[in-house]
Amino acid sequence: MVIIIPEIIKESVTNLMKNGERSDDRGFDDYREISLETGVIKKAEGSARVKIGNTQIMVGTKPQIGEPFSDTPNVGVLMTNSELIPMAAPDFEPGPPDERSVELARVTDRCMREAGVLDLEKLAIVEGEKVWMIFLDLHILDYDGNLMDAAVLGSMAAIMDTKIPETRVEGDEIIIDREKMIPLPIKEKALMCTFAKIGGELVVDPSLEEEQILDARISIGMREDGSICAMQKGGMKPLTKDEIIKAVSRTQKITKNLMEHLPHN
Amino acid sequence: MITIITNKDLGTGTEASQRADGRAFDELRPLKIEAGVLKRADGSAYLELGGNKVLVAVYGPRELHIRRLMQPNRAVLRCRYNMAPFSVDDRKRPGPDRRSVEISKITSEALTPAVFLEKFPRSTIDVFIEILEAEGGTRCAGITAASVALADAGVPMRDLVVSCAAGKADGQVVLDLSEVEDKDGEADVPVAIMPRTGEVTLLQSDGNLTAEEFEKALNLAIEGCKKISKEQKNAIIKRYGD
């Protein structure tokens, strides 16, 4: 299905931006309303439902015992997967993940992995043989723009909510103690901040309308200390070096506020 | 070789002669239905039944791109039943499996008789059922929620199809089987009806029942459907007024 954005909307949104305004009256550094709940799916060992405006994602984690990758025999595995289910938008089709879905999962994964959110070495059970594999599944329920930031926020919250059974090794046996559920070994917190470039301006948290007309997009993953852990440029038009550097410094301020939405513990 | 031992099963054992969760034989699990919960979809509904959490979105009537499915004199009603990977104890691999394909088919057949499809030739109405958390009886919960989502989308219908299962667990015919009763029980009979006429639009049976027990289960399921039907209507009234 082709989404037709009348040129007239593009023109009016662009003109508003040039006057320092957005079509929904937000400032350039303002997110839409954010809500975040954790522990919403009892069957999942960790879960979070995140809403940014009308964009809504359900994130769940499932730990499984599996074999480590041969090049990293003593570290656990975090697997991120996303589904842009056809429920979420009229142009999402059923079937295997398309490129948008794969990009979302991979960028989310990179942001969490490179930030060192989890101490994966602590998820090893028997070196070279058995490790915990944490499956992180993103279920996109309602798409109204800016899936990236919602995905990372939801993933971070779901990981913080996750409890896995304690394991111990006795001889050749692994004992999984479901009566002793322990939190995941969290080392770092990271979140993502996405900007859309429209009419030469960079605005944070693009709405659906803004996403459909943007020239370029940049997503920046950032740790709590303000260092960068992931980036992704998108869109059909270029960004200048100056725009990128400015986006990074704006992200440092914005992420500080965004972190407030995560559960405190 | 490493053996993996889990010291505690996730499911709880059933007590003899009484239902595991303390319900009466004809008692439903706690039920909650809400209409109009999604922005992008034309219609939507959220339903909780016991530990089940189900979200349904409806798109359409809209253009059908697959020509071979197109009907010259009416719309087609397509359903997709899908379980979230985190909705069950052991992670479900994403994508359709044989079970979800079958459920999608019977769900479509359960809803079709109630919809005035002839008003929309050559088009499609798409129903997407997402099981966010599963605790037994998800196909019935999906159908019940789908009717509310169709109504929320403004699709003209003869009736609101409603669905509920009955079955046999611990030798007793009971209403609305829980996950444990479904797994350990003797039989499961999911039923959907159009409550205005009482006609049955979905019927399956899985397990062993005598003819008498089956009749009892069917009657029980229909009574359950009627109770749930009231909640469907309340959800729509709450969203749109009387």
Pairwise CB contact (< 8 Å): A142 & B41:
yes
The structure's pTM equals 0.91
**pLDDT at residue B9, rounded to an integer:** 44
pLDDT at B4: 61
* Cβ-contact B191, B156 below 8 angstroms: no
pLDDT average, residue stretch A110-136: 95
**pLDDT score of A265:** 62
What pLDDT sits at residue B242? Answer: 76
Domain ranges of chain A: 7-259
pLDDT tens digits along A205-221: 999 999 999 999 999 99
Q: What percent of chain A has pLDDT over 90?
A: 88
Residue B3 has what pLDDT? Answer: 63
From CA B122, how far away is CA B103, in angstroms rounded? 24
For chain B, say whether A171 makes contact (Cβ under 8 Å): no
Arch. (CATH architecture) of A7-259:
2-Layer Sandwich (3.30)
Could you tell me the pLDDT band of residue A260, with boundaries at 50, 70 and 90?
A: very high
The pair phi, psi for residue A36, each rounded to 5°, is -145, 125
Q: Predicted confidence band at A9 (pLDDT cuts at 50, 70, 90)?
A: confident
Average pLDDT of chain A to the nearest whole number: 94
Query: How many angstroms away from the CA of A130 is the closest CA of chain B?
Result: 9
Partners of A64 on chain B (C-beta within 8 Å) are 90-91
Please check whether residue A139 touches B, CB under 8 A.
yes
pLDDT surpassing 70 at residue A2: no
- Least confident interval from A20-24, A153-157, A253-257, B7-11: B7-11
Among the partner-chain residues A83, A94, A144, the one whose CB lies closest to the CB of B40 is: A144
Specify the pLDDT at position B7: 57
pLDDT for A85 equals: 96
DSSP string, A71-132: TSTTS-EEEEEEE--TTS-TT--SSS--HHHHHHHHHHHHHHHHHT-B-GGGGEEETTTEEE
Interface ipTM: 0.90
Q: Which of B198, B33, B232 is nearest to B113 (CA)?
A: B198
pLDDT at A228: 97
Which of A98, A91, A209 has the alpha carbon at shortest distance from A145?
Answer: A209
Which pLDDT score is estimated for B88? 96
Give pLDDT < 70 ranges for chain B. 1-17
